[in-house]
Amino acid sequence: MAVFPDGTSEGRVGSDRLTRAILDVSQRFLGAEEPGQVRFTVDGAELGNRRRMRDREVVPDTVELLFEPCLPPPRLVIVGAGHIAVPLCALGAVLDYEVTVIDDRARFATRERFPAAHALLVDDFSRAIESLEITPWTYLVLVTRGHEHDEATLQRVAGSSARYIGMIGSKRRVLVVFDRLKRAGVDETLLSKVYAPIGLDLGGRAPTEIALAIMAEIVNVRRRGGAKSLARFIHSEVGLADSGADVADEA
C-alpha cells in the first residue's frame, strides 16, 4: 500500500477500518527519515509500536505493519567554491548527498576540483540560488569569499524550506551580516534558524577539519542528534555561543 503526501493512496490492507487507520498513522511517517513498525487489531485499533507479548506468544487478530518513507536523496548545496568547499563536496558525496556547487568564478567551479559534484553552477550567487528548487531535503552551506555574497544569498534563502542553512565566518563577520540583514527587514526569527558560525565544535582549523565539522553538523541536524554546534539560536539579538574556535573566513 502506498500513501502520498496529499493524503491519497494506492492499494489497501485488510478491512476498510484497518485501511483508514493505516492512512491516519502514515501521516506520522511522511517526511520522516526513519521507518517504523506499528501494530493494529484487524478492525483498525492501534496497539502501538512495541510488541506487547512474550517471545513466541501469539496474539490473535492483530497485524504488525512496517511504515517506510520513500524520500528524495538529501541535497547539499555549497555556495562558494573555495578551499573548504572541495573537501566538503567530497564528504557530502561519500555520505550519499546529491551535491551542487555554486560560484561566480568559472576557474573555481570546475569538474577537476569537484569530481564528485552532481552539478556545478557558474553564475551570480543570487541568480544561481534562485534557479534552484529548495525543499525540506535541502542543506545549504554558505562558504563564499566575502560577507557581501553571504548577505545577498542569505537574504534569499532565510525564509526557504531548507532543512539546514549554515554560514561560515568568524563571530565578527556573522554579526555584521546579521545586523545588515535585520536592518534590511529580514525577520529575526528566520535568522535564528541559521547555523553561524557554522559547524560542530570540533576545534578544527584546517580546511578539511572545518569541512568535517560542517558535514557533522548537517548529519546532526538531519538525524536529530545532540552534538554541540558552534552556533546558538538568535532571539532579541544575535546570540552566538562563546567559543575559542571561531571558524576562519573562506578565501
List pLDDT tens digits, range 7-39. 889 998 888 889 989 998 988 887 677 889 998
- Please count the CA atoms within 13 angstroms of the CA of 229 that sit on its side-chain side: 26
Per-residue model confidence (pLDDT) at position 14: 84
In the beta sheet, which residues pair with residue 98? 75
pLDDT in tens, 125-160: 999 999 999 999 999 999 999 888 999 999 999 999
pLDDT of residue 232: 58
Are 127 and 153 in contact, with CB atoms under 8 Å apart? no
Query: Domains plus CATH for the chain?
Result: 2-67 (no CATH), 75-222 (3.40.50.720)
CB atoms within 10 A of CB 165: 24
Indicate whether 242 pLDDT > 70.
Answer: no
Q: Which string of DSSP letters, residue by residue, matches 149-177?
A: HHHHHHHHHTTS--SEEEE---HHHHHHH
Q: How far apart are CA 204 and CA 210, in angstroms?
A: 5
- Collapsing DSSP to helix, strand or coil, 212 comes out as helix
pLDDT at 52: 44
Phi, psi angles (nearest 5°) of residue 250: -75, 150
**Comparison of pLDDT for 3 and 50, the residue scoring more:** 3
The cell numbers describing 162, all together, are 531548507
- pLDDT, position 53: 42
Q: How far apart are CA 207 and CA 113, in angstroms?
A: 14
pLDDT(122) > 90: yes
Residues 6+ apart with CB under 8 A from 195: 164, 165, 166, 167, 217, 221, 229, 230, 231
Distance CA 99, CA 77 (A): 6
Cα three-residue angle 159-161-163, rounded to 5 degrees: 115
Taking 60 as the threshold, does the pLDDT of residue 235 lie above it? no
- Identify which of 215, 219, 193, 218 has the alpha carbon closest to the alpha carbon of residue 204: 215
Average pLDDT in the chain: 86
What is the identity of the amino acid at 155? Q
Residue 90 has a pLDDT of: 99
What pLDDT score does 218 carry?
Answer: 98
Give 40-59 pLDDT, tens digit per residue.
988 888 876 444 444 444 55
pLDDT at 5: 78
Pairwise CA distance, residues 184 & 109, whole Å: 30
pLDDT number for residue 51: 45
Going by C-beta distance under 8 Å and a sequence separation of 6 or more, which residues neighbour residue 14? 42, 63
The whole-number pLDDT of residue 59 equals 52
Q: How far apart are CA 64 and CA 73, in angstroms?
A: 28
Confidence check: pLDDT of 248 > 60 = no
pLDDT at position 234 over 70? no
Q: 226 or 94: which carries more pLDDT confidence?
A: 94
Query: According to the model, what pLDDT value does residue 237 have?
Result: 45
Average pLDDT over residues 83-95: 99
Nearest Cα neighbor of 157 from 219, 237, 68, 78 is 78
Q: What is the pLDDT of residue 54?
A: 47
Q: Give mean pLDDT, residues 219-223.
A: 94
Q: What percent of the chain has pLDDT over 90?
A: 59
User: Is the separation of the CB atoms in 186 and 156 below 8 Å?
Assistant: no
CB 245 within 8 A of CB 203: yes
Higher-pLDDT residue of 36 and 164 is 164
Rounded to an integer, what distance in angstroms lies between the CA atom of residue 129 and that of residue 138? 12
- Residue pLDDT, tens place only, 173-208: 888 899 999 999 999 889 989 999 999 999 999 999
